[in-house]
Amino acid sequence: MAHTQETVHAIVEKQRAFFRTGKTLDVGFRIEQLKKLKQAVLAHKAELEAALYEDLNKSETEAYLCDVGPVIVEINEILKGLRKWARPERHFSGLMCFPSMTTKVFKMPYGVSLVISPFNFPILLTLGVLAASISGGNTAVLKTSSKSAACTKALQTLIADTFPEAYVTVVDGGHDVADMCLSERFDKIFYTGSPAVAKHVLEMAAKHLTSVALELGGETGNWCIVRKDANLRDAARKIAFFKLCNAGQICINVNQIAVAEEVAEPFLDALKAEFVRQIGEAPEENPEYPKLITPAVFEKCERITSQYRDRVVFGGKGNRDTVKFAPTILYPVGTDEDVVRHELFCPILPVVPFKDADVDALLSVIAEREHPLSMYVFTSDKKWANRVMSTLQFGGGCVNEVCIHMMVKGVPFNGTGHSGMGAYHGEWGFKEFTHPQTVLFGKTHGNLPLREHPYSGKTGARKRTLLNRFER
């Protein structure tokens, strides 16, 4: 369907009318809808995996591991905890509020939500966010990426088969349709994508003072530090797996590696060996290797590789027909070079050597740049690792691991600064899609004149004495 501003407006108004019926306020209703969503994902699993293969050449296993399966895990976590999360909090009002004894905090939905999802994990980053929106009691308009057209079509079928348009619907189209959505007054916007587009989302949302959550890749990319005391084979194995996943098109992926120059050569040897072991000598010809989303990304890989041709120590080849580009290591690269000052979002992997004794200088460089979404360190020095991970600012990360921090139940997934605002997953997603509403329950008898005039003379003095006691 080709959308116009009028059709988008009609969808939003239809959802607003549905929200005002109060049906979504009932936690039982939300649980029922989440169960429907889970069953729909399971019933449409084959179609979703086929769509992921068509858009990104994801194998059946990778599609389930990274996109479909995590949606089920997310829904299960919400179903387990939702009744507890949604329960109003009860607080003692305090002596200052006497004779009131009770204040409650209600967890209220925002209303009509807009979810703008990206191409790289089109199922997870649409339905996972939808689950959070439903848990909070909202309706949802899902604006999916035009780049992952097969997944958008599969999502349209799944959602239309499961929910009425007045509750949840998928809106397809390009940037023009996204702007049509952003022109409408939504009550909550959740955007996943680039910092550049996020600025536009915020600007549009500001016109209606709409609450916004942003999950972004980070302006200057995610760092991985490999110290000289690291287990090099273990680090190489994990980094290679991660860079191969979705051909590097992941917001939390390693953008550049900083490796202690004392161990740079053996680390590079281990990294090359791991790429070959996991995907073969010619990854761009391997049917299991994911493809790049558009020819434009392929051309970017060719352009960067050409620019650094004398420093390509692994890979550097691609298949234009299949839009696949091999994982490519650039070495050595300086901390101030352009390739390590921007998020790459592709299989290219710059490696920056540093003297291990000068690691603090490297950390200063990282700290001076925009906050990354993820941070990874490989070292046997747990004390140093703990200091680094508790003082640098970033969204989330791992010590001697990659990526799986986002799979831990009960913890938030989020960024900060140029890598985002807001958080979700489990209860954090419920909180993101609700606002706390404080209500004090007053009494009609026994009210004291403490807060009322007069404030002067002996009466005022007595009031001040009592107030001083209450404030202790």
Task: State phi, psi for 413 to the nearest 5 degrees.
Answer: -115, 120
Q: Which amino acid is at 279?
A: I
pTM to 2 decimals? 0.96
306, HSE (Cβ side, Cα atoms, 13 Å): 7
CA 96 → CA 458, 461, 472, distances in Å? 20, 17, 11
Where in the chain are all domains bearing CATH 3.40.605.10? Answer: 5-218+421-435
| Calpha distance 62→166 (Å, rounded) | 33
Q: Over the chain, what is the mean pLDDT?
A: 97
CATH class of the domain defined by 5-218+421-435: alpha beta
Phi and psi at 152, nearest 5°, equal -60, -45
At residue 445 the predicted structure's pLDDT band, cuts being 50, 70 and 90, is very high
Q: What is the pLDDT of residues 77-109, one digit of tens each?
A: 999 999 999 999 999 998 889 899 999 999 999
Which of the four pLDDT bands, split at 50, 70 and 90, describes residue 219?
confident
pLDDT confidence tier of residue 455, bands split at 50, 70 and 90:
very high
Residue 472, pLDDT score: 66
pLDDT value of residue 110:
98
330/270 Cα distance (integer angstroms): 15
**pLDDT at residue 443 tops 70:** yes
CATH hierarchy code of domain 223-369+374-411: 3.40.309.10
Please give the pLDDT value at position 469: 82
Angle at 125 between CA 190 and CA 410, to 5 degrees: 85
Integer Cα distance of 49 and 57 in angstroms: 10
What would the pLDDT profile of 416-434 be if each residue is shown by its tens digit?
999 999 999 999 999 999 9
Which residues are paired to 139 by β-bridges? 112
Percent of the chain with pLDDT over 90: 94
Q: Looking at the predicted structure, is the pLDDT value of residue 42 above 80?
A: yes
Residue 139 has pLDDT above 70, yes or no: yes
Hey, which residues does 312 pair with through a beta bridge? 330
Both structure tokens of 390: 């508790």
pLDDT value, residue 468: 85
The segment(s) of the chain belonging to CATH 3.40.309.10 are 223-369+374-411
What length does the chain have? Answer: 472
Per DSSP, the three-state class of 362 is: helix
Task: Calculate mean pLDDT across residues 195-203.
Answer: 97
Strand pairing category for 102-109 and 89-92: antiparallel
Return the pLDDT at 466.
Answer: 86
Which residues form the catalytic set? 215, 251
- Residue 301 in this model has a pLDDT that exceeds 90: yes
Tell whether the model's pLDDT for residue 183 goes beyond 70: yes
Tokens standing for residue 409: 């139940």
